[in-house]
Amino acid sequence: MLTKNSATFCSFSIILIILICNFLVLNYNATAQVCTGEIVKLANPKDNTPFTFLISDGEGNEEVVLMDPDDNVTPLIFFQGSSLEVTELETPGWMLESIECETVGPIEYSVNGNTLSLSCNGGDVMFQCEFNNVQAPAQVPSISDWGLIAMVGILGTISLLVMIRRKAIT
């Protein structure tokens, strides 16, 4: 038979257990950071050139190949933790013009060359980042190349004049 004191103790114990469970759940949810997002490849011109990306979340690396316009969006990227790095590997004939991100939630990002670094700062966040590439301009000959071209032209002209003069003498 329960007495008034034992019933109060049981009620207090149950309330205490519920409060401890709520505290643990709230703390777990506050520290669990789930970042979700995608990488979009935009190229000018859109000719389905394959661009390779290296995605690193601290636990491992994954290579992803994107092509604009046919296959230019990664599957959703989920990472739980504090950071994610996305690096676009160099593609011959192309240069990275810009990296632009749209974010929802407490997330920070920075760009260093071809690498995008994302940091989750708590809570659930979403991001979409675009890597914009343009074709690299054709190489223009340098001054030393122009000098070589001019020297060949001058020597060719001198050789032609010498040949004409020899023919006129004989």
Residues 29-66 pLDDT 10s: 445 567 888 999 999 888 999 999 999 887 788 899 99
Q: How confident is the model at residue 20 (pLDDT cuts 50, 70, 90)?
A: low
Whole domain around residue 17: which residue ranges?
A: 1-31
Q: How confident is the model at residue 79 (pLDDT cuts 50, 70, 90)?
A: confident
What does the pLDDT read at residue 136? Answer: 87
Is 25 a domain residue?
yes
Residues 7 and 72 in one domain: no
Residues 8 and 19 in one domain: yes
More confident residue, 17 or 89: 89
What are the beta bridge partners of residue 42? 132
> How many CA atoms, within 13 angstroms, populate the side-chain half-sphere of residue 38?
9
Alpha-carbon span 52 to 61, nearest angstrom: 13
Closest CA to 79 of 26, 127, 35: 35
Residues 17 and 87 in one domain: no
pLDDT per residue over 87-137, tens digit each?
999 999 999 999 999 988 888 889 999 999 988 877 778 889 999 999 988
**Count of domains in the chain?**
2
Percent of the chain with pLDDT over 70: 78
Residues 3 and 51 in one domain: no
Between CA 111 and CA 35, with CA 131 as vertex, the angle to 5 degrees is 70
What does the pLDDT read at residue 3? Answer: 53
Is 46 a domain residue?
yes
More confident residue, 143 or 120: 120
